[in-house]
Amino acid sequence: MMRFFALCCAFAALCIWYCRCHSDTSPESVVRLWQSYIDRNQFDSARLYSTELARSYIDFLDALMQGDSSEISSTVLYKLRCDVRGDSAVCHYLIEGELEEKIPDTLVLYRVHGRWLVHRVEGFMVIPVDTLAPGDENILFQGDSLDVELE
């Protein structure tokens, strides 16, 4: 009886491993799922489909939406197509802007341990809070003067 139980456990573990490693989830379906989590402010779920770099974008959105969970959108991805090369995919699509114009956008995905993850959001860059080195706040550029006031 014990042997049968051990065999069943081993078979179940093998099935779980096979399903995780041989997932048929395409980059296109990951992009759609990831975007739907963003639209519904489910940032923790979106982080599960993101690399560390893309998580900085999610963190930015999460901080932006703090206290305002009522705003839920539905982004439609038009003409989504992904160019897959090895463990990388570049996905191009169009989204609809506020004036109903189509805006091109791009996501870069990496396959990590058999799973497609959003890696880079084009156009998003983490800007350092303080870009000046200590003492730089007193630098005057050519033509600047402390005597001139803005009118």
**For the chain, domain boundaries:** 24-127
- Token reading at 106: 């791009």
Mean pLDDT of 114-131: 69
Mean pLDDT of 73-95: 93
Q: What's the pLDDT tens digit per position in 18-73?
A: 444 445 599 999 999 999 999 999 999 999 999 999 999 999 999 988 866 666 77
Mean pLDDT of 109-126: 83
pLDDT, residue 16, reads: 46
CATH of domain 24-127: 3.10.450.50
pLDDT, residue 129, reads: 45
pLDDT at 148 over 70: no
User: 109 — phi, psi (to 5°)?
Assistant: -115, 150
pLDDT at 125 over 80: no
Q: Which helix (H) or strand (E) holds 93?
A: strand 88-96
Reported confidence tier of residue 9, pLDDT bands at 50, 70, 90: very low
Q: Which residue in 67, 70, 52, 22 sits closest to 121, CA to CA?
A: 52
* Residue 78 DSSP code: E
Rounded CA-CA distance 31/124 in Å is 16
Interacting residues of 71 by C-beta distance below 8 A, sequence separation 6+: 41, 65
Rounded CA-CA distance 151/43 in Å is 45
Percent of the chain's residues with pLDDT above 90: 49
